[in-house]
Amino acid sequence: MITRWRLEPKPEDVEKYKQGELVEPQKPIVFYIDPATPKKWVKYLIQGVNDWQVAFEQAGFKNAIYALEAPKDSTWSIDDASHSAIVYKPSDIPNASGPHVHDPRTGEILETHINWYHNVMKLLHDWYFIQTAAVDTAARKMQFSDELMGQLIRFVSSHEVGHTLGLRHNWGSSATVPVDSLRNKKWVEANGHTPSIMDYARFNYVAQPEDNVTYPGLFPRIGMYDKWAIDWGYRWFPQYKTAKDETPELNKWIMSQLNKDKRYQFGTETDPSDPRNQNEDLGDDAMKASAYGIKNLQRILPNIMKWTKEPDKDYSDAKDMYDQLIIQFGRYMGHVAKNIGGKYTTPKSVEQTGNVFEYVPAAKQKEALEFLNKQLFTTPLWLIDKNLVGIAGASPVGSIEKVDVMVMNRIINIRTLETLLENEAYNGASAYTASQLFDDLKKSVWSELNSGKAIDIYRRGLQRAYVQSLVGLVALSANPAVISDAPAVARGQLIALRTDIAKAIPAAKGISKSHLQDMYAIIDTTLNTKK
């Protein structure tokens, strides 16, 4: 059952509505802005609400939703349950949320108090700086203009209002857009970089400086999916007396729209295996999009000291922006890693053809691993900036190792291995198998075992993350509730790796030798632990 506000035409406008004329609802959706809100941001919060009017017009209603400043009336209270409001929280929490109260018997939304925490502006600044400073000069500072920050607040307002209208996160929306379209100035400025503002697809990090993409192509907006979802959920059907009566027509709408354009698809936020349904990602190809994103990070990094410089301040902002850049880099690695052992889920009704479940093609999984080998496993030396290290206190060693750990835990875990094993069982030679994955991983992560090269501090961190991920899997075999081949696969890999490390230790020198001896001891202890 969906949740929605009760929107119905006024009795005198019923015939106009039936004939397709826009009419005002009997009771519009009204939000009041908390009087405690800093005055300069009020108009942007109001715009974020009013932006939804175009979606309700598609459903046949005009002036169906709008925001007002709180009345200057001593008897008016923002805590009154009959008022919906955007509440200002003078807090350092960098967040915003859009809850609502609805009648569980019918799904009718009764009221909402959106929470806007003051420090969401810090979050917005950091996202916009890291994702667009390569293409937008206005993003190259620690204090944005009021107009730029206001537009960022407007986007958050629209997103949270969407939740209060009954819409969930649509993390699959951005995956319906070809990556090349995100660089096409004319296309992306006309259509937006994601079809849904309910996606977590903050800003267009794919666009390159030479593309000359401006704000309409960089910012999220209420898109074609949002307009259609509101039309589907709020259009008034007087010819039907019950929800059950409406169902066949509503289902026809869904199939009709999906056949027209895949950008009407919804992708859940609760699927851990489908690489199309991810937060903070863009486009239909994670490897291609992430490569463009990295190019922009490489443009930003050498300028962090200059773009964060402010009179009479220290270098903490430079350190903070470097940390944010690493986080963004890690997001790109995570987007790619989810393709390995990935499984597409495309919900369908019995009237639709085609598979609901499909494994990510072997070629795409191999491409993802090759990308990780090039961009992460081969140490990303471009992330090491001596000025940021020596002056701002940046820590590339620890930062890169954290990304290594995150990616290894994503690739070497029980869910990924079980999906690979199932794929092999069902599809045989056409599948990307667990054995192939570990063969490819070993070649890139442990190349020094055959080459005899010294193992630098970054590679030692990578290899340590690899071993710890396998050790964690082996430990699951002691849990009788875990019925899986994954621990056995991990144990086999550790046995083989122990042998290879033992052969390499005699020729190793210095810290490389100590590192290999440590890895050998950890593996040996794990394999010889008695249950």
Kindly give the residue spans of alpha helices, DSSP state H, lying in 338-375. 362-372
Between 330 and 529, residue with greater pLDDT: 330
Which of 236-250, 355-369, 497-511 has the lowest average pLDDT?
236-250
491, 527 in Cβ contact below 8 A?
yes
- The number of beta carbons lying within 10 Å of the beta carbon of residue 93 is 14
Rounded CA separation 285/271 (Å): 18
pLDDT 10s digits, 123-182: 999 999 999 999 999 999 999 999 999 999 999 999 999 999 999 999 999 999 999 999
pLDDT 10s digits, 87-118: 999 999 999 999 999 999 999 999 999 999 99
What integer is the mean pLDDT of 42-47?
98
295, 208 in Cβ contact below 8 A?
yes
List CB contacts of 165: < 8 A, sequence separation 6 or more: 4, 5, 29, 52, 65, 109, 230, 233
Tokens coding 5 = 């506000």
> What is the pLDDT at residue 530?
59
Kindly list the domain boundaries of the chain, sorted by start residue: 11-264
Mean pLDDT (the chain) is 96
What integer is the mean pLDDT of 357-368?
98
Rounded CA separation 113/300 (Å): 38
What 8-state DSSP symbol labels residue 362? H
pLDDT 10s digits, 481-506: 999 999 999 999 999 999 999 999 99
What integer is the mean pLDDT of 30-40?
96
Judged by phi (left if over 0) then psi (alpha if -120 to 50, else beta), residue 151 lies in alpha
340, 416 in Cβ contact below 8 A?
yes
pLDDT 10s digits, 13-26: 999 999 999 999 99
> What is the pLDDT at residue 454?
96
Task: Tell me how long the chain is.
Answer: 531
Secondary structure (DSSP) of 63-88: S-EEEEEPPS-TT--TT-TT-EEEEE
